[in-house]
Amino acid sequence: MFDLSGKTALVTGATGGIGGAIAAALKAQGAKVIVTGSTLERAEAAKARIGADGALAANLADRAAVDALATDAEALGPVDILVNCAGVTRDGLVMRMKDADFDDVIEVNLTAAFRLSRALVRGMIKRRGGRIINIGSVVGSTGNAGQVNYSTAKAGLTGLTKSLARELAARNITVNLVAPGFIGTAMTDVLTDDQRSAIMKDIPAGTLGQPEDVAAAVVYLASAEAQYVTGQTLHVNGGMTMGF
């Protein structure tokens, strides 16, 4: 099951914990994997660590760079599976949040996903098949104090996912979103014991998730076994939210 042999996947943000785990999982299922990072040095390091097949660099806050990334990826592809995982945070209370902090997060987390999807879906339509998988967050459903920008971007990915799914379903292209909860990465390693204890109270599973938990969800949605699943949000959060 979940054989991805003969498929090419582009994974943005593969230099991070979740993106790296996704890229490794897709590779393990037989896909040809292209990873991206903010610099070529970081992308090449991720490629070597994962055993990926290609590495590309792009500043996802730069729209021209995003468009060029799509072109470069297709030259290595063609891309059958797009995983929009790259993201940044610029946390702060709304009264103190600068325009740049809001704009940068929207640009990288949401606009880049739109632009890459728009560019790469053309090839998928011609080949009459493809997968787009966006990586959201639990805060896209719940909101989070101090993360107006990030929560807005992740909520926007939900709307992007559903709308693209409706447009592309007849072309045998599925579009889904994976929404992680609190996952054990470098971002959560900095939590204090008190912060970690407070979070655990809201997680019925009683533990943080692991990047591999998110990667497993992506592998399923990328596979032929998920051909009838589109426009959905798959929450990977240990039961932290239910009913969304």
User: Catalytic amino acids?
Assistant: 150
Yes or no: say if 54 and 12 are a contact pair by the CB < 8 Å rule.
no
Residue with tokens 């070529």: 40
Which segments of 141-228 are extended strands (E)? 173-180
The DSSP line for 1-20 is ----TT-EEEETTTTSHHHH
Q: Cα 235 to the chain's mean position, in Å?
A: 13
CA angle 55, 75, 153 (to 5 degrees): 60
| Phi, psi angles (nearest 5°) of residue 26 | -65, -40
On the question of a cis peptide bond just before residue 211, with omega within 30 degrees of 0, the verdict is no
Q: Which helix (H) or strand (E) holds 141?
A: helix 139-142
Q: Which two tokens stand for residue 15?
A: 């230099």
b/e code 86-100 from CB counts within 10 Å (16+ = b): bbbbbeeeeeebeee
Yes or no: say if 146 and 46 are a contact pair by the CB < 8 Å rule.
no
CA pair distance 68, 40, nearest whole angstrom: 14
